[in-house]
Structure 1
Amino acid sequence: MHGYSEDKDALLKRLRRVEGQVRGIARMVDEDTYCIDVLTQVSATKRALENVAVMLVDDHLRHCVAEAATEGGTVADAKLEEASAAISRLLKS
């Protein structure tokens, strides 16, 4: 079971909202909406998707990493490295 299992419904709800935002942006472009208005919506969509990522990172740390930490050893080291790499990728994007 993945760490986000308890928040799955909330994550899916947020992702459906992001999906709707992206469709709205496409519609705005199709309708030749003013570029600044489109960029505003792109920014809002990016923030919404980043919020999903933060939820996933939090769940991963609280479940997967915490569980591995109780095991200790190489399993814990691997999970910590994995989490650190994921966070690094998020910060670079």
Structure 2
Amino acid sequence: MGHTAKNKVKLLNRVKRIQGQVEGIARGLDEGRECGEVLQLIAAVRGAVNGLMAEVIEEHLREHVASPDIASDAERARGADEIVGILRTYLK
């Protein structure tokens, strides 16, 4: 997948924020924080990962399924099949 430089930086910044959130979970567990607080941290990470996944899925669909630059139906089908397989894994 070819990310534009601008989008690549944006995606990497999102990943860095998620890393920080995961580190927050580890600190919360290490410090013995209340279960409810740790659960909130976990929920925030899940939401952030879901948002990242949605953004990358959208980019994939636009570039590899819906783009007018795609020359063949076979290439378009490959792009669709790839995202279907990923979604099946992700939604398990």
Matches within 5 A, 1:52-71: 52-67=52-67, 70-71=70-71
| In 2: Cα distance, 1:69 partner to 1:9 partner | 24
Q: Structure 2 regions of 5+ residues with no counterpart?
A: none
Which protein is richer in helix relative to its size?
1
| In 2: Cα distance, 1:64 partner to 1:79 partner | 5
Amino acid at match of 1:8: K
SS in 2 for 1:66: coil
| In 2: Cα distance, 1:12 partner to 1:74 partner | 31
Instruction: State the percentage of identical aligned residues.
Output: 31
| Contact persistence 1:69–1:76 (CA under 8 A) | no
Q: Structure 1 regions of 5+ residues with no counterpart?
A: none
1:12 matched residue in structure 2:
12
TM-score (norm 2): 0.85
Q: 1:68 to 1:78 in 2, by over 3 A?
A: farther
CA displacement, residues 1-59 of structure 1 (integer Å, 9 cap, x when unaligned): 61x33411111111111000011110111100011110110011111011001000000
Of structures 1 and 2, the one scoring higher in RCO (CA 8 A, sep 6+) is 1
